[in-house]
Amino acid sequence: FLKIPFKVLNLRKEFREKIMDYFAREYRRGRTPNPCALCNPYIKFRYLEEVRREEKADFIATGHYARIVEKGRKFYLVPAKDRKKSQEYFLAMLDEEILRRTVFPLGELSKERVKEIARREGIPALEREESQDVCFVKGEYWKFLEDHYSFTPQKGDIIHTSGKVLGTHTGYYRFTPGQRRGLGVSSTSLEITSPLYVVRILPEENKIVVGSRDELMKTRIKVELKNWRGGGEGRYLVRIRYRHQGEWAEVKISGKNAEVKFKRPQFAPAPGQIAVFYDQEELVRGAGIIL
């Protein structure tokens, strides 16, 4: 339709090894991975850059909702104008060399405006469904793990933080920190009225630990940095999940790790999820995996 040559790369092997296998490994460890954030630097943009060089093209252009700004001869990622659709969180591990050669044409536009333009131009993909969640998982993620990675349902205890056994589960990998629904246990036996949440996952013991919401509020986390362009320490806005609004924190860098101390306690930072760091100008200064 656009009269642009269409080239297909077969990256099934690379995608499985770098993304799908990683997804399964993290769940085995009792962690909550974010494969999309790793797919961008390790698969999509890595191989797009190879094609760009082969084709002797000037830039890579994608439909992500994000913006790239130049500051002091350096290039940084910032949120898109359409904050509801902004995807810079998932792109935060891209290094500067990729950002220098990338353009995001939708970054200045709202989703509604993009649809208006597509409708005006008669672009046939307009009504295509938007991608949701993890692209390679159809249905429940734990079912995918059982079907493709030999995860075996195995009964284990659900225990309260007080030590009392409340019930059983059929697979620790079916749970994530902060989860409230689908626990299959009640707080009534503890003579408390507050709801129960998953507080910790203990894969070695095949146990799920539940407790109150207050027990999930954390003021400190550690992050294994995958991309860092900030200083040795400082004050940054830190997002700990995609839908998280972010909270200001004091950040200290020690080697490849960051020590994060939030101004206010944050709910359920999950090991395996992505933390993204912003400065006061909304420049993405770094990203890593919560430990």
**Active site members:** 39, 135
Residues in the chain: 291
Transcribe 122-160 into DSSP letters.
T-GGGGPPPP-S-TT--S-HHHHHHHHS------EEEEE
Dihedral pair phi/psi, residue 287, rounded to 5°:
-160, 155
What are the CB-based long-range contacts (under 8 Å, 24+) for 214-217?
215/161, 216/177, 216/178, 216/267, 216/268, 217/265, 217/266, 217/267
Residue type, position 281, single letter: E
Name 45's Cβ contacts closer than 8 Å, sequence gap at least 6.
60, 94, 98, 102
CA gap 214, 220 in Å, rounded? 14
3-state class (DSSP) for residue 88: helix
